[in-house]
Structure 1
Amino acid sequence: MASSLSTLGIIHTAISVVALVFAAVSLVRDARIVPHSKTGIYYTITNVLACLTSFGLSKEGGFNPGHAIAIMILVLLAVSYAMGRAWTDRPVALYIQTFLMTTTVFLSLVPAINETLTHLPPSHPIAESKASPAVQTGLKLLVVVYLAGLLLQFFRIRGWVRKHAQKISF
């Protein structure tokens, strides 16, 4: 039987789910996560909170791969925001921000897949460990979806750039 979540684990999970909902809304509405849009800001705030709460979680005790992922997400978000709004009229900046923000979603989903498959259903989890075939297959599918999603977003940006070529600086 899977171990139950701590109070912090429940809070972390709830915040993480809310962050992923904001990401999904932004991806559906704007075809990318626009950092300075209202939804992008909500995504960022909830994702930062999810990262910060993850530092209080550790089955093994001490620093773990989940903490490293949280640090990477925080760095990617910071770089995306450091680029600022002024850069978004430059095609290269659109590609970079799209890559950064989409990668934060991908990195958020890696531990989500691990934890979900090793905890649910509570009476008999799908996977016994992170090394089990179900988790490995889930992670491989996530990589495929991530790469396909990036390509779709990049093609959309390319179309937008072609349409607005006279108005933007390179």
Structure 2
Amino acid sequence: MFGISPLGWVHTLGSLPAIPVAAYMFATHGRIVPRSTAGTVYLVSMLIGAVTVFLVAHEPVSYVIGVATLAILLAGYGARPVLGTRPVARYVETICLSLSAFLLMLPTVTEVLRRVPDGHPLVTDLHSPLLLGAQGSLLVILVLGLTAQIIYLARHRRTAAG
């Protein structure tokens, strides 16, 4: 089904929980909260997806996204332990984990559009206007979301200090 190998299903189903968990955290907390149950589910799902991409990828860019995702996840989840409670830690954590969600959604949207409906996908060319529009929309959401998160963190920090 959808031309996905058994290992591809492990990759897909292993990383799939990260999508609703990230959406839940963005909706309820405005960011991905690493030290929470949802944050742990997100990390495990993202690690499954990022590691298995090296076994299922067909496009060279997939390897770049896999390496970037692993590096950004480690930076995001490691910010607090390494930087402590300094304000910069929360900024690094928030920015990195939002970038990781973007790196999850970029190939997800691309693969869904290239595989659905089964046998007659919506997109057959990587330069399709529909695909480029979807990817561009994700980039706009990332920029607007990061801007809102940074403004919120700055205001919250001033409020807590004052």
- Report the secondary structure of 2:55's partner residue: coil
CA distance in 2, matches of 1:88, 1:143: 30
CA distance in 1, matches of 2:82, 2:58: 43
In structure 1, the residue matched to 2:16 is 17
Question: Identity percentage over the alignment?
Answer: 28
8 Å CA contact retained: 1:80, 1:101: yes
Q: What is the aligned counterpart of 1:70 among 66, 69, 72?
A: 66
In structure 1, the residue matched to 2:33 is 34
Q: How does 1:3-152 map to 2 (within 5 A)?
A: 4-59=3-58, 64-85=60-81, 87=83, 89-152=85-148
- Report the secondary structure of 1:9's partner residue: helix
8 Å CA contact retained: 1:77, 1:100: yes
Q: Which has the higher contact order (CA 8 A, sep 6+)?
A: 1
Q: Structure 2 stretches of 5 or more lacking a match?
A: none
TM-score (norm 2): 0.90
Considering fraction of residues, name the structure with more helix: 2
How many residues in Structure 1 have an aligned counterpart in Structure 2? 162
- Report the secondary structure of 1:164's partner residue: helix
